[in-house]
Structure 1
Amino acid sequence: MERMAFVLGIKPEALPEYKRLHRETWPEVIEIISAANIRNYSIFLKEPENLLFAYWEYHGTDFAADQAKLAKEPRMQDW
């Protein structure tokens, strides 16, 4: 298992849509993320700085390949 994280700044005008999407995360999206060997995915938003911090545990052997699969998933693209 490998622990991974990233930090991202969010534009103030994008915050309402970001919050809506994450409040109403589709169950299929969660299943797809899990199928990509990602567990314990947590996202934190620090306001008023609008900094997002995401953390997860990767349980696979080829992160790049799993991320490529995620990128190709139609439901991920829709969401």
Structure 2
Amino acid sequence: MMKRIAFKMFLHQGFEEEYKRRHKEIWTELKVLLKESGVEDYSIFLDEETHILFGVLKCSNELRYKDLPLQPIMQNWWEYNKDIMQTNEDNSPKSISLEEVFYLE
């Protein structure tokens, strides 16, 4: 069963174009890891007024998805992006899960 997951992250002001550039050039190894972890239909939206990033994805394997933070490729991606967004001590993006309150099938 596919689970829909949504969350928000926080971009530093002035780094909108850099964030877009880095994601246009996302590492092939990271794309492969995400897909192997059951991630599909993944989008990130930017609210340019608040600098909040909204991530939305579908996941077919929650256990593998929850294991992503342990993967070196993911940790390297976080390290690469820590200068342009709010992060935790382990360099992971500060992220808040969002509750789904409506879905039109």
TM-score (normalizing by structure 2): 0.60
Aligned to 1:55: 56
C-alpha displacement of 1:61: 4.3
CA–CA distance in structure 2, aligned partners of residues 58 and 73 of structure 1? 20
Paired residue secondary structure (1:12): coil
CA–CA distance in structure 2, aligned partners of residues 75 and 46 of structure 1? 24
Consecutive unaligned residues in structure 2, runs of 5 or more? 81-105
- The 5-angstrom pairing of residues 3-18 of structure 1 reads 3-18=4-19
Paired residue secondary structure (2:32): helix
Q: CA 1:14–1:35 in structure 2 vs 1: closer, same or farther (change >3 Å)?
A: same
CA–CA distance in structure 2, aligned partners of residues 27 and 6 of structure 1? 23
TM-score (normalizing by structure 1): 0.76
Consecutive unaligned residues in structure 1, runs of 5 or more? none
Aligned to 1:72: 71
Aligned length: 76
In percent, how many aligned pairs have the same letter?
28
8 Å CA contact retained: 1:29, 1:76: no
CA–CA distance in structure 1, aligned partners of residues 37 and 76 of structure 2? 15
**Structure 1 segments (4+ residues) deviating >4 Å:** none
> Could you say which structure has the higher helix fraction?
1
